[in-house]
Structure 1
Amino acid sequence: MVSPHTQLKKVTDRVIERSRATRAAYLQRIDDAQGKFPARGALSCANLAHGFAGLTGDDKMKIKAIREPNIAIVSSYNEMLSAHAPFVSYPDIIKKAAREAGGVAQFAGGVPAMCDGITQGNAGMELSLFSREVIAMSTAVALTHNMFDAALCLGICDKIVPGLLIGALQFGHLPTIFVPAGPMTSGLSNDDKAKTRQRFATGQCGRDELLEAEAQAYHGHGTCTFYGTANSNQMLMEVMGLHLPSTAFVHPHTPLRDALTAESARRVLELTAQGKTYTPIGHVVDEKAIINGIAALLATGGSTNHTLHLVAIARAAGILIDWNDFDDLSQSTPLLAKIYPNGKADVNHYHAAGGMAFLVREMLAAGLLHEDVTTVAGKGLSHYTKEPKLIDGKLQWVEGTTQSHDTAVLRSAAEPFQPDGGLRLMQGKLGRGVIKISAVAASHRVVRAPAIVFDSQEEVQAAFDAGELKRDFVAVVRFQGARANGMPELHRLTPPLGVLQDQGFKVALVTDGRMSGASGKVPAVIHLSPEALLDGPLGKVRTGDMLVIDAEAGVLDVEIDADEWARREVAKPLHQDANEVGFGRELFGVFRAAAAPAEFGASVFGPLPCEGLHAVPTAGVTVS
């Protein structure tokens, strides 16, 4: 086994030490729940009767007899999301496989699943981030009936997988496998789609042409094919050992996909206390698994949203990470994949080039991942250098390719696209934020230009439409944090800013909001913490201030006299009430009021930073 890279070991040791008390408390809590299986044996007769009353036939008798292990199915199925529509058939596949393997499966509950692609630029987007918390709580409600010996979580997209995982970790004594549905087949290329969006933004095409292009890109069941948060989720579940190996990017409605779904049910039964190897999820998701997730995210140029989600997931397991950990790992983790928006290829091309099995093999060989971890496939991450095949109708895992089949998409650690990862910690007078530079050309990574201050993305669009932005500038879009309006993605800004950049202007974005997993070619410093509503220094910026963004050096600064900067007051939002009512936003007021800073996952769960919400998070921060 190759020794871990020195930087990987350094960051891991730091996280272990920082998390010693909180991790120990978490493990004690879940260990206290072990040894009480089947869980439903502790229920009274009335409780148990309620638990199986909705079933019929053998499944009802098995649960009543309290002999066979019972799998909870928690699903995000709905018809609104192409990625989740395939889950409609999964419960029947899982139940059949469980019966054949000597167990039983019960649909425990559904969780909501909203789509950022549908809500972008609309009021519903302000519910998006906090839907993660709703999903986590919904998962807990599904599992709280004490009827289950294991769980299968069915989810794909942006907030759904993090929410499912945060919820499942509250039941860390249960063996749990995440079951994906896979990507849709390739349609109109992501590059051509982006070009059509820019043409629409400049009035060169109409809505009919734009809609047709979008429909050709998003045309059937499965995840969107670009490497945004949804597909970053799937990559993470594999590298963190929560999927069966190399299952993320197999298309829905194929014999292999259905075989993998059935195998997930059989395998999770083997991980129960009655099975071959008891493997609770709380022991799978440990410090090394979290660090593996960060490293693989960096090596593939994955979604910036995971600078929030991974932090929140880790905290749910008693593990404390911060943006310094991301930044330090980024400096030693080479970029091995080029998937749109970081390149031309989509996830189907990535999978065909060698996919997850090749990526894990390369990173393990270079010491960029921890091999000595527990996974749902067994001890050791080397299980994930294999890929599934149907051979004579039987599911088997064979060794994955040892060579990339397309070095324009996927490369070895010896010949990376660049020597470091695609993420930077940005800090200076405006606080701390992150930038994804793997898709930003080197010539655009340093921007020195005057600020133009906006309080919404609609104001930016209006200024663009009025022709007021044909110049070098940094768009400062403030009051977009979790406390202000739920931290919506501002991906609607990509086309107009991209147009201006293509016209030769130096442009950039600085915001306390999110940009999305599809952050692209325009430099965007996002997740500014503390946010403007909490007196963050972003609220001190005025139109005309000279801002400096140096993504290579990690610098985010404003050129201003120190005394004048100290005297300035933080601006107050003019239309805050508008973000609090309508389209269900009233129901989420409690989430906005409780949200932690972005570097703490913008989560409403768990203890808050002991230094207070106005403090800028720093390396090695602890919680009270």
Structure 2
Amino acid sequence: MAVTETISAVTEKIAQRSKAARRRYLDKIDAAIATAPKRKSLGCANIAHGFAACGAHDKDALRNGNAPNLAIVTAYNDMLSAHQPFETYPETIRAAARAAGGTAQVAGGVPALCDGVTQGETGMVLSLLSRDVIALSTAVALSHQMFDAAVYLGVCDKIVPGLIIGALSFGHLPAVFIPAGPMTSGLGNDEKAKIRQLYAEGKIGRAELLDAEARSYHGPGTCTFYGTANSNQMLMEIMGLHLPGSTFVNPGTPLREAITRESAKRALAITALGNDYRPIGRIYDEKAVVNGVVGLLATGGSTNHTMHLIAMAAAAGIALTWQDLAELSKAVPLLTRIYPNGKADVNHFNAAGGMGFLIRELLGAGLLHEDVSTIMGAGLSGYTKEARLGEAGELQFADATHASHDESVLRGCARPFQPTGGLNVLTGNLGLAVIKSSSIPADRHVIEAPAKVFHSQEELQAAFKAGALNQDVVAVVRFQGPKANGMPELHRLTPPLAVLQDKGFRVALVTDGRMSGASGKVPAAIHVTPEAAEGGPIAKIRDGDMIRLDAGQGTLNVLADLSTRAPVKADLAANHSGTGRELFEAFRKIASGADRGASIFEVV
């Protein structure tokens, strides 16, 4: 299947830009490949340590046999609803591995920080930086060199990108990502948003707010809105690292357990010991990266992935830029309306046709590369499928629907919700920024208003409560970038700004920080780079400066002469200690800008 001219041209630009780095990366993979398990060359004491705690069957297999051994890298903890189901996965995976003639061991765990729990608290400062800790932890888990492939148990915001970066550092190993699925639908997202806004207006109390939140986040699985966690899962499937149709199956169901068993078997089937070797470093190529970007744009996914996709690609020697995202956004239609871009949740999306329908539509329109390698084999056409249970409880794949079951949630390319993608890159005299345009009302895509400048979200909330923001306003919240304080999400700004917008004021946010993957209906120019802590132009804005944001044209400008102004400096000491923040000082110092992945690792 031929891709469109834009998809082809952007992919070729990425490939040419990445040529030298990608070659070095592939050479590293080739050097690491061995025709026999690496553990066979370990010293006797080394390998004895590696199987000392195994049962008799697994110990014998690891000691004497050539059967493949599977690493389990898990982000399990039972505080996060999305990761709690992983508690039982290792035993399921070990049993499936034995049935397939192999073995499996938990190689290591990685941290999993929940943005929902830390939102607006000091722990959120560690959130983005935790992605790179997860990558490092993954490398530690795999460093024992006991393994022929790996399965990765992770779902949420920074966890999957961190696991990908770590997995790509062991790019010669096949990798299968196993999701846990979304929780069943609770309180509707639209109702939840209304209650949050009523609380921001002081019309209801904390008890009513907590009751609504508890009815929304009520059981095991991911939050059901389309934020970073569910954007992660979409990416893993459209990039060919999940089993087809496995992404949005609820936890605790027979189908979910069958997917877990089959995922383990698939990982063992694609090692270098067999005839269908599929290392992640070769699956994760330029075409797969472009497919991921297209999926993000077509679904109006999380703005956090404007950083994560760049950092993930860099780990494979691929240089992705915001300009690439901007060019692709102009060519990719928006095909979904999932909260915060609509009222539906991911369970409704899955019921309407889900990933199989979405991939078929994008392939048919020439917007995805079909000629890619996946964990299932050659070609993305194998992902136009739904996962189902056979009569004996075995996993089967059936053709996905050819028509959406609910066009208020999911549409085909012939009748999209809008002709361009849900994310835009902004340029102008403030540098670069990102905006999630898919959830913004059409009459709010252009905002021109005077600036009100704040150095924390608490300052803005205080001004709102004091009535000082009852006007047309562009709220500028700066010193929130990677170097300033680790770039926390500023999701608590959404309710007060939404209140102002609903009062009829022209309102926007400009910040070098992040918003949630569930960025809402208020225009928000986020990830502004260079950040204020580096003396970027955002540090020169003063109260009253007119700022013009045009999401359609992709521009962000201060209508003032900044050339004669010195950047404001801020005392950031209070951001750097407590809640473990002092341990991340080195990370903040070396983190790259948001447009380069906000990463501590080398950026291509």
Aligned amino acid, residue 557 of structure 1: N
2:569 to 564, 572, 588: 572
How far the C-alpha of 1:174 sits from its partner, in A, is: 0.3
Aligned amino acid, residue 113 of structure 2: M
Q: State how far apart, in whole Å, the 1-side matches of 2:64 and 2:152 are.
A: 25
Deviations 1:145-200 (A, max 9, x none): 00000000000000000000000000000001000000000000111111101100
Q: Determine the structure 2 residue equivalent to 1:418.
A: 418
Q: Determine the structure 2 residue equivalent to 1:528.
A: 528
**Does structure 2 retain, via aligned residues, the 8 Å contact 1:40–1:66?**
no
Q: State how far apart, in whole Å, the 1-side matches of 2:388 and 2:43 are.
A: 45
Q: Determine the structure 2 residue equivalent to 1:245.
A: 244
Q: State how far apart, in whole Å, the 2-side matches of 1:304 and 1:473 are.
A: 23
Q: Determine the structure 1 residue equivalent to 2:341.
A: 342
Q: Determine the structure 2 residue equivalent to 1:303.
A: 302
Q: Determine the structure 2 residue equivalent to 1:94.
A: 93
Deviations 1:226-277 (A, max 9, x none): 0000000000000011001110100000000000000001111110112230
Matched, 1:542 2:581: no
Aligned amino acid, residue 583 of structure 1: T
**Does structure 2 retain, via aligned residues, the 8 Å contact 1:286–1:317?**
yes
Q: How does 1:430-469 map to 2 (within 5 A)?
A: 430-469=430-469
Q: Is there any run of 5+ residues in structure 1 with no aligned partner, and where?
A: 608-622
Q: State how far apart, in whole Å, the 1-side matches of 2:548 and 2:135 are.
A: 39
Q: Determine the structure 2 residue equivalent to 1:361.
A: 360
Task: Point out the more displaced range, 25-34 or 268-277.
Answer: 268-277
Matched, 1:587 2:583: yes
Aligned amino acid, residue 469 of structure 2: L
How far the C-alpha of 1:68 sits from its partner, in A, is: 1.0
Aligned amino acid, residue 584 of structure 2: F
Please state whether the residue corresponding to 1:247 is helix, strand or coil.
coil
Q: Determine the structure 2 residue equivalent to 1:24.
A: 23
Aligned length in residues: 603
Q: How does 1:98-117 map to 2 (within 5 A)?
A: 98-117=97-116
**Does structure 1 retain, via aligned residues, the 8 Å contact 2:385–2:397?**
yes
Aligned amino acid, residue 523 of structure 2: P
**Does structure 2 retain, via aligned residues, the 8 Å contact 1:135–1:163?**
yes
Task: Point out the more displaced range, 265-274 or 180-189.
Answer: 265-274
**Does structure 1 retain, via aligned residues, the 8 Å contact 2:131–2:162?**
yes
Q: Determine the structure 2 residue equivalent to 1:227.
A: 226
Please state whether the residue corresponding to 1:332 is helix, strand or coil.
coil
Matched, 1:600 2:596: yes
Q: Determine the structure 1 residue equivalent to 2:129.
A: 130
Aligned amino acid, residue 485 of structure 2: N
**Does structure 1 retain, via aligned residues, the 8 Å contact 2:35–2:272?**
no
Q: State how far apart, in whole Å, the 2-side matches of 1:35 and 1:48 are.
A: 17
Q: TM-score scaled by structure 2?
A: 0.99
Deviations 1:372-397 (A, max 9, x none): 00000110000100111112022111
**Does structure 1 retain, via aligned residues, the 8 Å contact 2:224–2:346?**
yes
Aligned amino acid, residue 131 of structure 2: R
Aligned amino acid, residue 604 of structure 1: I
Q: How does 1:136-175 map to 2 (within 5 A)?
A: 136-175=135-174
How far the C-alpha of 1:37 sits from its partner, in A, is: 2.6
Q: TM-score scaled by structure 1?
A: 0.96
Q: Determine the structure 2 residue equivalent to 1:613.
A: none
Please state whether the residue corresponding to 2:344 is helix, strand or coil.
coil
Deviations 1:500-551 (A, max 9, x none): 1011000000000001210110000000111010011000000000000011
**Does structure 1 retain, via aligned residues, the 8 Å contact 2:241–2:375?**
yes
Q: Determine the structure 2 residue equivalent to 1:610.
A: none
Aligned amino acid, residue 605 of structure 1: F
Q: State how far apart, in whole Å, the 2-side matches of 1:191 and 1:422 are.
A: 19
**Does structure 2 retain, via aligned residues, the 8 Å contact 1:245–1:386?**
yes
How far the C-alpha of 1:36 sits from its partner, in A, is: 4.3
Aligned amino acid, residue 272 of structure 1: T
Deviations 1:27-77 (A, max 9, x none): 000111112431101100011011111212211111111421100000000
How far the C-alpha of 1:400 sits from its partner, in A, is: 0.6
Aligned amino acid, residue 566 of structure 2: E
Q: State how far apart, in whole Å, the 2-side matches of 1:536 and 1:50 are.
A: 52
Q: Determine the structure 2 residue equivalent to 1:407.
A: 407
Please state whether the residue corresponding to 1:453 is helix, strand or coil.
strand
C-alpha RMSD of matched pairs (Å):
0.7
Q: Is there any run of 5+ residues in structure 2 with no aligned partner, and where?
A: none
Q: State how far apart, in whole Å, the 1-side matches of 2:117 and 2:501 are.
A: 26
Q: State how far apart, in whole Å, the 2-side matches of 1:275 and 1:405 are.
A: 41
Deviations 1:566-597 (A, max 9, x none): 11000001x30001111100000010001001
**Does structure 1 retain, via aligned residues, the 8 Å contact 2:133–2:162?**
yes
Q: Percent identity?
A: 62
**Does structure 1 retain, via aligned residues, the 8 Å contact 2:36–2:66?**
no
Q: Determine the structure 1 residue equivalent to 2:509.
A: 509
Please state whether the residue corresponding to 2:547 is helix, strand or coil.
strand
Q: Determine the structure 2 residue equivalent to 1:294.
A: 293
Q: State how far apart, in whole Å, the 1-side matches of 2:36 and 2:186 are.
A: 48
**Does structure 2 retain, via aligned residues, the 8 Å contact 1:38–1:66?**
no
Q: State how far apart, in whole Å, the 2-side matches of 1:87 and 1:461 are.
A: 38
Q: Determine the structure 2 residue equivalent to 1:614.
A: none
Q: State how far apart, in whole Å, the 1-side matches of 2:566 and 2:35 are.
A: 57
Matched, 1:14 2:10: no
**Does structure 2 retain, via aligned residues, the 8 Å contact 1:108–1:143?**
yes
Deviations 1:198-218 (A, max 9, x none): 100111000000000000000
**Does structure 2 retain, via aligned residues, the 8 Å contact 1:183–1:224?**
yes
Q: How does 1:243-282 map to 2 (within 5 A)?
A: 243-282=242-281
Please state whether the residue corresponding to 1:434 is helix, strand or coil.
strand
Aligned amino acid, residue 183 of structure 2: M
Please state whether the residue corresponding to 1:433 is helix, strand or coil.
strand
How far the C-alpha of 1:474 sits from its partner, in A, is: 0.3
Please state whether the residue corresponding to 2:139 is helix, strand or coil.
helix
**Does structure 1 retain, via aligned residues, the 8 Å contact 2:356–2:384?**
yes
Q: How does 1:176-215 map to 2 (within 5 A)?
A: 176-215=175-214
**Does structure 1 retain, via aligned residues, the 8 Å contact 2:35–2:273?**
no
Q: State how far apart, in whole Å, the 1-side matches of 2:520 and 2:274 are.
A: 46
**Does structure 2 retain, via aligned residues, the 8 Å contact 1:62–1:104?**
yes
Q: State how far apart, in whole Å, the 2-side matches of 1:582 and 1:25 are.
A: 40
